[in-house]
Amino acid sequence: MFAEVKRMLPISGDDYDAEIVTQIKAAALDLTRTADIILPGEIEISIDDTTGAVTDESTMDDELIITAIGTWCAMRIGNPPNYDNLLKAYESMKGSLRLSGHYTDYGE
């Protein structure tokens, strides 16, 4: 999951890896707590404070969730000139996820 999200960002190198890990976790919390999205997999990513090595044992492979989380990260890391467009895209994806029976338990 970490590698997929990182590829979506206009970042090279490893300088932002810790921030990417933090923002991935924040996005997952936003989806689950503010939109009641049920994630179809686990997000288990950590970074070694000494070496900076990222360990990703996530089982999340849902492309829509990864895209939403990647959009959140693109919006939150640095000072993107297209912040407003990223925010609109993220909110739109979150709304679509919320309306889908695949990602919620509203219909049960």
Quick check: 60 and 40 in contact, CB under 8 A?
yes
Average pLDDT, the chain: 94
> How much is the pLDDT for 94?
96
Q: Rounded CA gap, 83 and 23, in Å?
A: 15
Q: Give residue limits of the domains in the chain.
A: 16-99
- The pTM score is 0.93
The dihedral of CA 32, 69, 5, 10: what is its sign?
negative
Q: What is the tens place of the pLDDT at every residue in 39-69?
A: 999 999 999 999 999 999 999 999 999 999 9
